[in-house]
Structure 1
Amino acid sequence: MNTSHHPIVIVGAGLGGLTLARVLHVHGIAATVYEGDPSEASRTQGGQLDIHEADGQRALADAGLTDEFRAVIHQGAEATRVLDPQGRLLFDAPDDGTGQRPEVLRGDLRRILLDSLPDRTVRWGHKVAGVRSLGDGRHELTFTDGTTATSGLLIGADGAWSKVRPLLSDAEPRYTGTTFVDIHLYDADERHTAAAEAVGAGAMYALTPGKGIIAHREAGNVLHTYVELNRSAEWIAAVDFTDAPAATARVAAEFDGWAPELTALITDGDTAPVARPIHTLPDGHRWERVPGVTLLGDAAHLMPPSGDGANLAMFDGAELGKAIAAHPDDVEAALTAYEEALFTRTEPFYAEAHDMLALMLGDRAPAGFIDLFAPRTRPTDPTPTAGSQPGRPDL
């Protein structure tokens, strides 16, 4: 059997895992990242993200990538508007340049992180089939191609369905009762004029109790639609998303009578609709210290999208990297310090994430969501804090 050993193994080349690898590299510490995707370009990387001062931007600063990040910001994209189902404007906040949450494409951010790492840091095409403890803080990973690797320190940055999490916790993601359906419209200003005008320069929200249409204007003249539906898992399973026309028609039927410029964000898509059921780990998920292994990002604290997930994952990666660098001869001290701070830091965000779904799709929608944008005092504490500003879904 082909086996390799690495002192530090990170499972998952998402934003959190790559930030960890980069911060370790900045401190002169090598790590190996195993990723199931066959290559960087094998699939799209999700939509546009708003990167927060208190966590995402701090993580990028720790990674020494602030200039690279600023070079890919989508200028003007912090604009926000809310429409009713007939397309009437209820709320409008243009991007006046004073916002603190610049928007970037997830794929651009991932590319910056990948480009900052030494060759062969990321091992593509290594999908983890299982992980087992070897004792003394060491672990063995088995990949679907039959090869294996062992680690002195193992970090699970492998998302909602983490293969590493069971070493630490028996918690499993549960369906929240909400599914997002995402669709892209390309060449928006030329080919989808009415929808583009409805969306405006940044993000558009058309929300009612139980359902809504959200769209982001992304870099490259792209509209990215997120249809939000409070529906049972059985209802979603009954929609055949392998039949794009039928699935599109079924989803669009939920918005019968809505303004055509809004329903066009569903029916005029240039990509097939993709269902993304929203899952969550138990609120305040935590675990007991297990030698030689830990988690970050969604593997550690999966919650409904509220604009915080990617930011928290990058901050986790940066904080873990700095903890390891601060305790070069004592991995357990590093992991203990990291996890104690992680649990305290992330617990309040669960409530905010659930509240955000309720504000967008609950009985008070859209009024409750609009209330989020009322003037408020910014916190002076630089520690990431739930509830400091309204976020955006960050699939």
Structure 2
Amino acid sequence: MTIAVIGAGLGGLALARVLYVNGIDAVVYERESARGARGQGGMLDLHSGTGQRALREAGLIDKFHAIARPEGQDLRLLEPDGTLLLQQDTPDDAPLERPEVDRVDLRNLLLDSLPEHAVRWGRAFTSADDGVLYFADGSSATYDLLVGADGADSRVRALLTDTRPVHTGQNVVELGIPDIDRTHPDLAAMVGRGNYWVLGNGQSLSAQRNGDGRVRIYLSFHTAEDWFAASGIPFGDPAAARMRLIELFAGWDPRFTALIAACDDTILPRSITTLPIGLTWPSRPGVTLLGDAAHLMPPVGQGANMALLDGALLGLALAAHPDDFPAAVREYEREMFARTSAAAQQSARAQEILMAPDASRKMLAFFQPD
């Protein structure tokens, strides 16, 4: 029985790894030409009961602990006028409930745990028909089970549902300060070791320290889907774009706009989309989905954890039913639908807090409910 996984993201690789440790081969097809073909994003906080559970099932938890950053759990929450509302510093002996890890390091950990032939690079999936996969380079391959782990814009999803992601009303601009401890030690001290959030009326600034010394800056705006085109931000001219972004934060404490001014020329605009909460589909023999392809959520900490656990639990179900893939898929989908629906509801509530007029105070109440 041939298992084909479309997408070498965290979920697809977790599936391939759990299958591998259970003696089952799978082939992962990835459109990127090599593992380092593009950046993999910033930090992830891996939750003990979901993302870390997946790594335990994959036999990788000790290696994960070696690359995790417990101090990344530190948090500073401020208002636009500079008022510090909350500072949480992680003790050295704190349990690893939600340690941070660089996404690229975690992906490399999963890739290195698989035999070299398990991932086929440069294979952009275009369609599937009657047990045959077709790729953009003209090649093809056969499969008995097709798993779509191909992200928000999944092509495999169309085999199961017509549902497409929709805009959430949030647009994000990502910037970054490389080697911040050397280049801007004052800003490095301000941001600290983990996450730094400033929440205002309809927009926010967050900074996140990465293990490689870079601090990623995320500017979030509660705006219409076409806002990037209408905003007048000249993304093709990084210096001018930074100046325009600084203007959008007029009236905020100058320390926060100093973070924007210190960023390099890598500026990435992103429209935030989600799939409907509770999305399901009739189980179909021979195809299923995991991760963002199945349940795209706002980027508030659940997506990667759910994707990793999807991959691990699907792998375990297939290992438990090696001669009955349809039964394994039905078992996996029942659990996944319930679990990720609850996670999506939690993510939506967190997103509402972040976009509220009094977001800073609501977030303070979230972290200090008493």
Establish whether TM, by shorter chain, passes 0.5: yes
Residue 117 of structure 1 corresponds to: 114
- The aligned residue for residue 127 of structure 2 is 131
User: Does the Cα contact within 8 Å between 1:154 and 1:293 map onto a contact in 2?
Assistant: yes
Report the number of matched residues.
Answer: 366
Following superposition, the deviation at residue 80 of structure 1 comes to 0.4
Give deviations 1:161-202, integer Å, cap 9, x for gaps: 001000001000011110121111112122123322221121
1:216 to 202, 205, 208: 208
Distance 1:67 1:292 in 2: 34
Structure 1 residue 324: deviation in Å?
0.2
Corresponding residue of 1:11: 6
Q: Secondary structure of 1:30's match?
A: coil
1:244 maps to which of 213, 238, 243: 238
CA contact (8 A) 1:51 1:104 kept: yes
The residue matched to 2:16 in structure 1 has which SS? helix
Say which of 32, 51, 57 aligns to 2:52. Answer: 57
Secondary structure of the residue aligned to 1:54 is coil
Deviation at 1:76, TM superposition (A): 1.3
* More off after superposition, 188-197 vs 350-359: 188-197
Partner of 1:170: 162
Of residues 188, 201, 216 in structure 2, which corresponds to 1:196?
188
Q: Determine which of 81, 86, 105 is the counterpart of 1:86.
A: 81
Between Structure 1 and Structure 2, which shows a larger proportion of helix residues? 2
Q: Give the SS at the match of 1:43.
A: coil
The answer to whether residue 283 in structure 2 is matched with residue 286 in structure 1 is: no
CA contact (8 A) 2:7 2:151 kept: yes
Whether 2:313 is the aligned partner of 1:316: answer: no
4+ residue stretches of structure 1 with deviation over 4 A? none
**Offset of 1:86 from its aligned partner?**
2.8
- Which stretch of the first structure deviates more once superposed, 63-72 or 95-104? 95-104
Say yes or no: does 1:269 pair with 2:263: yes
Shift of 1:375: 5.7
Q: What secondary structure sits across from 2:63 in the alignment?
A: helix
Match of 1:29 in 2: 24
The answer (yes or no) to whether the contact 1:74–1:218 under 8 Å persists in 2 is: no
2:94 alignment counterpart: 98
Q: Which runs of 5+ in 2 are unaligned?
A: none
Report the AA paired with residue 56 of structure 2: A
Q: 2:163, 2:275 within 8 Å by CA — same for their partners in 1?
A: yes
The question of whether the paired residues in 2 share the 8 Å contact of 1:304 and 1:353 is answered with yes
% identical aligned pairs: 45
Cα deviation, residue 330, structure 1: 0.4
| Cα contact 2:17–2:110 (8 A) shared by 1 | yes
One-letter identity of the residue aligned with 1:374:
Q
Q: For residue 322 of structure 2, what is the aligned residue in structure 1?
A: 328
Matched, 1:371 2:365: yes
CA contact (8 A) 1:11 1:156 kept: yes
* Native 8 Å contact 2:70 2:98 kept in 1: no
